[in-house]
Chain A
Amino acid sequence: MSSEPGSSERQEVLSVEDVSVRLAGREVLKEVSFSICAGEFTGLIGSNGAGKTTLFRVILGLQASTAGKVLVAGSPRSRRNPQIGYVPQKFLLDPDVPLRARDLVGLGLDGHRFGIARPSRARRELVDEMLAAVDAQAFADARVGTLSGGEQQRVLIAHALISRPKLLLLDEPLANLDLPSGQEVVALLARIASEQGIAILISAHEMNPLLPVMERIVYLVGGRAASGTTEEVVRTDVLSELYGRKVEVLHIHGRVLVVAGPGNDSDDAHKHEGPLIAVEIVQ
């Protein structure tokens, strides 16, 4: 269920084909396949250790795959690919570090270049435009280390967007945010995806905060993936096959819960390689 046949209008920005990765003798990713098209908001859902970070590293070209291939906008990805914007997981920057939000956004444009950036009107206007796109003007001149988690995420998103990528990868952007800040970031990303036609792949260990905007999902369990629209994947039969035993998908008050199905001993569940919790609120 990687990509629907006959949907030739979908302009593939990212295509992951049968990617497997072995690290220290352990199979971290097993024949993972999915594709993402322009303007789509895709969630990469999985618990810790499911292989989300490894998959990101493969897409970014920081980790070689044992088998399979990754195509970015139709061509094999290179190590530095300006078509991919990347927002890493939370970083810790000391409040004293002399780097303003606008400096960090500017580094998104030319941070990989050697030498010192020449200030120019065009550069400054572009930075201002990006800061505005993520509603960060109010703290544009504050040191990045003094900003809250949500504000830092927005600055990092502007940093990633300024090079006009076709694909934006975000590694657990909601992990350290409170609920309202998380909702703000998700709404902002959904707006960016639809307005700018950028494909967004966002990793998370819970899917519920993403459900309102997530069009497609890549669900990782123990290195294996199911992908498709949320309706196609978040189903009892599909997830049971992925987990390798019976689970049930429950819809409760607009939330999705994935719980161990009847006949599953909870002790047994813990031994399984797919970390399925007795009542797994994969949320």
Chain B
Amino acid sequence: MSASLASLFAPGFFGSSTVHVALLVGAVVALVAGAVGVFTVMRGQSFAGEALGDIQTTGGSGAFLVSVPLLWGYVAVSVVAAAAMELIGIQRARGRDLATGIVLGVALGLAALFLSLLATSQNTTGAPFTILFGSMFVIASSTIPLILLLSAIVATVVAILYRPLLLGSVSAELAAARGIPVRLVGALYLLALALSVALAAMTIGTILSTALLIGPAATALRLTRRPGAAILAAGVIGIGAMWLGIVLAYDSYDWPPIHQGWPVSFFVVSIIFALYLLAGVPRLWRARRRGGNPAVVAGEG
């Protein structure tokens, strides 16, 4: 057992400061993404999360073009996009997808321009890939304070809004009748979502960033009946997927065909998906034992 465990970690894994940064950032970001992700799934705002992730391609490529740190570009574009969605009317049930779609379209148009400018410039060869699919092993340790600060902000916002958010995801009407400022709570939550997506983009890229929010949260929702436990489970699942992904990516430097390492994001997202499928097994098993139609019962929870 210990031999096989030892063989999991490639030589030099624990001594590498790049790995230390990746493990720390990965864990913090996964925790924050888990907490926000549970509410994203509960509030049915996965599309907004996905759009905010994609939109950051614009911020990332823009940041490369003007030579500012990647995270600044992500955060700036994410917050601006969230504000635009709020103003167009993401909080009206009928305006939600419309607001998201409009902002997504405009931002991706800019991303096309920025990425093409990057592609024609010779000293930014790897930039598009880093932006789209992330690169945990190139995170500068100088960005760690900012990552920790933003994570703390998101965690604080979620903790403060915890109960109003829960009530609001049951029924906005009910929340409003209790005197909760529904619009303000929704806007602050959208800000937390935007920031956590920006953080996730640092780790697994803009395109995949929402996978870190939605995947562990959706898995956690299959495993627990309590909101607090779901947030905890989503965080643990996210950290597990992130760390295992980092280990495997580090190992993969020796793997064929390229011997340059496979992307961390590939491993992280694959592990998240595998866990999601695994989490459905107990339910299928129970359904079969009850003799019900597994497909139907699995859908009904």
Contact = CB atoms under 8 A, between A and B. Distances in A.
Given A88-B177, A95-B301, A99-B170, A116 B221 contact: no
Interface string B258-301: 00000000000000000000000000000000000000000111
A97 B42 contact: yes
Looking at chain A's contact residues, the main secondary structure is loop
B300 A112 contact: no
A79 B179 contact: yes
A283 B218 CA distance: 45
B177 A96 contact: no
Interface in B165-182: 166-167, 169-171, 173-180
B284 to A, nearest CB: 15
Nearest to A60: B177
Interface in A88-121: 88-89, 91, 93-100, 103-104, 107, 110-117
Contact of A96 (B178, B226, B227, B301): B301
Interface string B160-200: 11111011011101111111100000000000000000000
B159 A80 contact: no
B188 to A, nearest CB: 11
A256 to B, nearest CB: 30
A86 interface: yes
B246 interface: no
A197 interface: no
Contacts of B230: 98
Nearest to A98: B230
A88 B225 contact: no
A67 interface: no
Interface string B132-158: 000000000000000000000000000
Contacts of A98: 38, 42, 220-221, 224-227, 229-230
Contacts of B180: 111-112
B301 A115 contact: no
Interface of A: 60, 62, 79-81, 84, 86, 88-89, 91, 93-100, 103-104, 107, 110-117, 141-146, 156, 159
26 contacts: A62-B177, A91-B170, A91-B171, A91-B173, A94-B42, A96-B41, A96-B301, A97-B42, A98-B38, A98-B42, A98-B225, A98-B227, A98-B229, A99-B225, A99-B226, A104-B170, A110-B163, A111-B166, A111-B167, A111-B175, A111-B180, A112-B164, A114-B163, A115-B159, A115-B162, A117-B163
A117 B170 CA distance: 17
Given A96-B301, A99-B170, A104-B170, A112 B179 contact: yes
Interface residues of B, number: 37
A103 to B, nearest CB: 6
B221 A103 contact: no
Best-buried of A94, A98, A103, A112 by chain B (most CB within 10 Å) = A98
Given A86-B177, A98-B42, A113-B164, 15 more contacts: A96-B41, A98-B227, A99-B170, A107-B167, A112-B163, A112-B178, A114-B162, A114-B163, A115-B159, A116-B163, A141-B225, A143-B301, A144-B170, A146-B300, A159-B174
